[in-house]
Amino acid sequence: MKKHILVFMLVSSLVLISLGFVLASHSTDPSSFTVNQSDSLTGTYLFNITISNTNGAGVNITRINITLPSGFTLLSDSNGSSIGNSALYNFTNWTSNILTWSNTTIYLINTSTTNYFWFRANATATPGTYYINITSVNISGANVGYYNTTIPVVVLLAAPYNVSFINANSTSATIPGLNATEFTVNVSALDNSNVTRFSFSLWNATASPAVLLNTTNLTSSGTNGIRSMNYSSLVEGIYLINVTVNDSLNNKNYSVTRTMYIDRTEPKVNLDVNSNNKNTTATSWFFAATSITDNLGLANATIYLWDASGNLVSSSTGDITSTSNTTGATLNLPSVGVYYWNVKATDMANNQVINSTNFTITRSSTTATAPSSGGGGSASSSWITVYYPNSAQLSAGFTQAFQVNYRMQATIINQTHFVGVKSLTTSSAMIEVSSTPQQATMSIGEVKKFDINGDNYYDIQVKLNSITSNSASLTTTSINELVSSGTTGENSNSEGSNESASGSEPLNLGTSSNVWVWMVLVIIIIVIAVILLIYLLKKNKSSKWEKKFRTK
């Protein structure tokens, strides 16, 4: 009987002890990790472990211990948790490989919930399989419960990494170009074992497709390899460089492909001739280079503006591409006076050139009379010249809106001419074309042609597109059309002069040479008339004397 009582007491004690002991079971995700040594060595590998509380009702996890295997090192200040607010837990890095998150006051993971814990670590271990140990702890009064799991980590052999060009912009696909016949490429690479070979490949990409010129193999040793390759006697052109790096275990990696320009030819810059020797009352001006060319490739262009003393007033730099381009920018003219401007172009090889001549522009308090060139005339000082289309724009048809007394200036047949709006109504506009002023009142949609130099060919065509907001939209086009016979409604040298219906040339009394001709003719006629009158008078008198004499 005593024996049975002793057994009962022993079993009861074990039951009571088991009831007082609190388990701390959990599950983890992912089931495994794979680490490439090259990734971990650059400090980029992230371990993110999700832990779920599987204890059941009323049991909370209050501490998580994660133990890293040998050869793994925690990166400082690179840890966290989905708990979010770090005030709700304590993180301790007891040693270089033991990480602890804890909150014994409340819990880390309560009943049947999930949180994740992350950190970054380097893996200097040799290739193989390692295990991260995870222990969840539940502290309940004087009782402590533990639960352990492991996650395998497979460490893969690293290929060479950080294969990069030295002294070259790592964010650019282009190595700075050279005004030379040769260049040197420096490349570095890291490896866990031993860098053994650098293979340099050079292509000529001036034409498409690129042509492989050569591949050169250079040996190396050590975990930090650096090799240089010099290319000489190169003709001008565009070259591509790529490097392949091998290690002692025949792993390999590649550099990015870079572009190199070998260019010994400067760009060419042509400035907008319509912005040279100009007078304006405007406080700003649009300056432009109408043509910038280079044999291989342009990089950027800068417009400079100086005052009369040579002090830089302002500048504007913009990127340009391809082998042919233009550039332009509006710069302020801060005060009345003379200004000089020019454009500097830079190509991909850093060759730079500025136009050989500075152009000038003058800001005046009132609009000066526009200069005449090669026989062209000028217009009233009331005009405001606001547009300066070039020959290409005029050939295509230059369209702009003009207010009253606004005009454009253009060079046609090597002469300076103007087209402007003299007056406006809601449905018509008086257009004036000069040098020798010709005026025409045009309705919306109407087209007029003008012979501006009296050679019996129309030189300018003007179309009135619309009239809105006190402005007339005009399209001005340079033409070369014979003034045909019988043409009506189109202007010639003077306002309203048209060819006669018979097709003969209209008599032009407006030139000084014709006036002199008519004056001479009139004088001759008067002289002849006087002589004839004198003759007739003398003859008449002689007849009377003769008759009288006979009567006697």
Number of Cα atoms under 13 Å in the Cβ half of residue 287: 28
For residue 105 the two structure tokens come to 């006051």
Q: What is the CATH number of the domain that holds 323?
A: 2.60.40.2550
Q: Is position 508 within any domain?
A: no
Strand 457-468 relative to strand 471-482, pairing: antiparallel
CB 153 within 8 A of CB 131: yes
Q: What is the CATH number of the domain that holds 202?
A: 2.60.40.10
Percentage of residues in the chain having pLDDT higher than 70: 76
Same domain, 353 and 411: no
Residue 457 domain boundaries = 384-482
For residue 468 the two structure tokens come to 């809105």
Same domain, 138 and 39: yes
Name the pLDDT band for 343 (thresholds 50, 70, 90): very high
Name the pLDDT band for 375 (thresholds 50, 70, 90): very low
Amino acid in the structure at residue 352: Q
Task: Tell me how long the chain is.
Answer: 552
Q: Is position 496 within any domain?
A: no
Higher model confidence: residue 98 or residue 345? 345
Same domain, 180 and 229: yes
Whether the per-residue pLDDT at 18 is higher than 60: the answer is no
**Highest-pLDDT range among 96-105, 491-500, 502-511:** 96-105
Q: What is the pLDDT of residue 545?
A: 44
Q: Is position 542 within any domain?
A: no
**Highest-pLDDT range among 7-16, 86-95, 249-258:** 249-258
For residue 534 the two structure tokens come to 């004198």
| R_g (Cα) of the chain, nearest Å | 47
CB 337 within 8 A of CB 310: no
Same domain, 85 and 115: yes
Same domain, 326 and 301: yes
For residue 520 the two structure tokens come to 């001479």
For residue 423 the two structure tokens come to 């007056």
Q: Which of 230, 262, 294 is the last residue of a domain?
A: 262
Same domain, 292 and 231: no
Q: What is the mean pLDDT of the chain?
A: 78
Q: Is position 322 within any domain?
A: yes
Same domain, 102 and 183: no
CB 338 within 8 A of CB 308: yes
Same domain, 339 and 440: no
Q: Is position 11 within any domain?
A: no
Burial 123-151 (b: 16+ CB within 10 A, else e): bebeeeebebebbbbbbeeeeebebeeeb
Same domain, 257 and 332: no
Spatial CA neighbour of 248 closest among 273, 220, 229, 268: 220
For residue 138 the two structure tokens come to 């539940």
**Highest-pLDDT range among 39-53, 179-193, 494-508:** 179-193
Q: Which of 245, 262, 279 is the last residue of a domain?
A: 262
Bridge partner residues of 123 (DSSP): 72
Q: What is the pLDDT of residue 199?
A: 95
Spatial CA neighbour of 135 closest among 210, 49, 220: 49
CA 244 from chain centre, in angstroms, equals: 33
Q: Give the dihedral sign, CA 66/72/73/74.
A: negative
| Number of C-beta neighbours around residue 403 at 10 A | 14
Q: Is position 371 within any domain?
A: no
CB 187 within 8 A of CB 197: no
For the residues 415-437, what does the mean pLDDT come to? 89
Q: What is the CATH number of the domain that holds 470?
A: 2.60.98.10
Whether the per-residue pLDDT at 298 is higher than 90: the answer is yes
Please report the beta strands in 320-455, taking only residues with DSSP state E, as ranges in sequence order. Answer: 324-332, 337-347, 352-354, 359-363, 384-387, 398-402, 406-412, 415-424, 428-434, 438-443, 447-450
Please give the tally of structural domains in the chain: 4
Spatial CA neighbour of 482 closest among 471, 497, 468, 492: 492
Whether the per-residue pLDDT at 405 is higher than 80: the answer is yes
Distance CA 156, CA 127 (A): 5
Same domain, 255 and 166: yes
Judging by beta carbons within 10 Å of its beta carbon (0-12, 13-18, 19+), is residue 544 exposed, middle or buried?
Answer: exposed
Q: What is the pLDDT of residue 12?
A: 44
Same domain, 48 and 133: yes
Q: What is the pLDDT of residue 162?
A: 74
Phi/psi at 147 (nearest 5 deg)?
-145, 130
Higher model confidence: residue 177 or residue 199? 199
DSSP string, 294-346: -SS-EEEEEEEEEETTS-EEEEEEEE--SSEEEEEEEEE--SSEEEEEEEEEE
For the residues 455-467, what does the mean pLDDT come to? 93
Q: What is the pLDDT of residues 58-67, one digit of tens each?
A: 678 888 899 9
Distance CA 291, CA 411 (A): 18
Distance CA 395, CA 378 (A): 23
Same domain, 172 and 87: no
Q: What is the pLDDT of residue 179?
A: 67
Name the pLDDT band for 72 (thresholds 50, 70, 90): confident
Q: Is position 168 within any domain?
A: yes
Q: Which of 156, 177, 210 is the last residue of a domain?
A: 156
Q: Is position 228 within any domain?
A: yes
Spatial CA neighbour of 361 closest among 256, 444, 271: 271
CB 266 within 8 A of CB 347: yes
Q: What is the pLDDT of residues 88-146, one digit of tens each?
A: 778 887 666 888 988 867 778 887 778 888 888 877 767 778 999 999 888 754 456 77
Q: What is the pLDDT of residue 291?
A: 92
DSSP string, 83-127: T--GGG-EEEEEETTEEEEE-SSS-SB-TT-EEEEEEEEEE-SPS
